[in-house]
Amino acid sequence: MTSIAAEHLASKTPIVLDCDPGVDDAMAILYGLRAPEVEIVALGTVWGNIDVDTATVNAVRLLEIGGRPDIPVAKGAGRQLIGTEPTFAELIHGPAGTGSTILPPPSGQHTGEHAVTQMIRLAYERPGELTLVAIGPLTNLGIALATDPGIATRYKEVVIMGGAFLWPGNITPVAEANIWHDPEAARIVLEAPWPVTLVPLDVTEQAQVTGEMLDQLRDTNTPAGTHLHLISYIYLSAYEARFARREAAMHDGLALAIAVDPTLVQEAPLTRVDIELNGAHTRGMTVADLRPIPNLERANARVVLKAEGNRFVRRWFNVLASWD
Ligand code: RIB
Ligand code: CA
């Protein structure tokens, strides 16, 4: 490990995490609870992989499994800003966002504060300190910006798992799920004057967790290892059906890891990113100016095109496997 990476891993980065757990969200959240370089300050939940009520129950349960029931969970938006009724991803994440397993409810509850209110409050309580990491649709972030644009100068940076640039989409040929679910919210987020890093499918599809790793985590007999193995069957099988190998992308885990250890990033040009809203075939597409000489006058995001996904996966596994 380089000394720069060691420096990043030596200090804790305080994170507000907006999530839609969801299986790969769960892999990210449990990593965040265990990794010494991460301080999860609060969780906000949003619809996406599953309905927001179920995502909220799953978030509370994950904190209990990770031994941190003290971390607040605030329930957020249950649907996209514009459009018809929301659709969810049960075929990938299971009918309750926990794969093929239906689990008893956790003993705890969400705080009753709305995720948007929590997001705004924390921006003012800890100005310049917090990194906002979004690993679900951007509805909460869009509403927060519309409610109080001032948060854009109070978060240190925003890291988003979202988009597909030199890689196919996963919902349509050109659109990635988190952006496609609420493209209007994504546009609001990208128009705001805050530092945005997009962690797209281009790199998250290279951060693959294998069935063998999950078997080994089960064999640790820790609550986290047992839970992740339990909820991952459908997620792994969905990937195996497509790619004929029992491994699956840790989209959200890589985004969280990059937020706390930027040395994982190998190529991330600052450029202009627009969201297609109207195309019959391209709605939800992330359109970046990746020309050799881009027009940087309206640059609004760093797009991570290359990252050390394998180094993240090794660290993710070692951190979770060493959970005593
Ligand atoms: O496209 C991948 C993203 O959509 C991940 O955040 C996954 O959890 C789903 O929300
Ligand atoms: Ca997610």
Strands 73-75 and 38-45: parallel
**Cα(111)–Cα(61) distance, integer angstroms:** 13
Half-sphere exposure at residue 313, Cβ-oriented, CA atoms within 13 angstroms: 22
Helix 23-34 and helix 233-243, axial crossing angle in degrees, nearest 10: 120
Which atom of ligand 1 is nearest to 204's Cα? Answer: 2
Of the candidates 41, 40, 24, the residue with the CA atom closest to the CA atom of residue 32: 40
Residue with structure tokens 């929301």? 86
What is the mean pLDDT of each successive set of 10 residues along the chain, which is 324 residues long? 64 96 98 97 98 98 98 98 89 93 96 99 98 98 98 98 98 98 98 98 97 97 97 93 90 98 97 97 97 90 98 98 90
Strands 13-19 and 208-210: unpaired
DSSP 98: S
Strands 270-271 and 301-303: antiparallel
Q: What angle do CA 115, 119, 263 make, to 5 degrees?
A: 115
**Cα(251)–Cα(162) distance, integer angstroms:** 9
- Measure 172 CA to ligand 1 centroid, in angstroms: 14
DSSP 114: B
**Cα(267)–Cα(125) distance, integer angstroms:** 33
Domain boundaries, the chain: 6-321
Q: In sequence order, which ranges of the chain are alpha helices (DSSP H)?
A: 3-10, 23-34, 52-65, 90-93, 115-125, 139-147, 177-181, 183-191, 201-204, 211-219, 223-231, 233-243, 251-260, 309-321
Which residues in 250-270 are b (16+ Cβ under 10 Å) and which e? Answer: bbbbbbbbbbbbbbbbeebbe
Residue type, 13: T
pLDDT of residue 83: 86
- Residues lying with their CB under 5 A of ligand 2, a single-atom ion: 20, 22, 25, 135-136, 252
Q: What angle do CA 246, 247, 252 make, to 5 degrees?
A: 150
Q: Give the binding-site residues of ligand 1, using a 6 Å CB cut-off.
A: 20, 22, 24-25, 48-49, 135-136, 161, 170, 176-178, 251-252
75 close to 114: Cβ distance less than 8 angstroms: yes
Domain 6-321 has CATH 3.90.245.10: yes
* Number of other CB atoms surrounding residue 168 within 10 Å: 13
Flag whether the pTM goes above 0.95: yes
pLDDT of residue 294: 86
Residue from 178, 202, 256 to probe ligand 1 pocket by mutation (most atoms less than 8 Å from CB): 178
pLDDT of residue 136: 98
291 close to 299: Cβ distance less than 8 angstroms: no
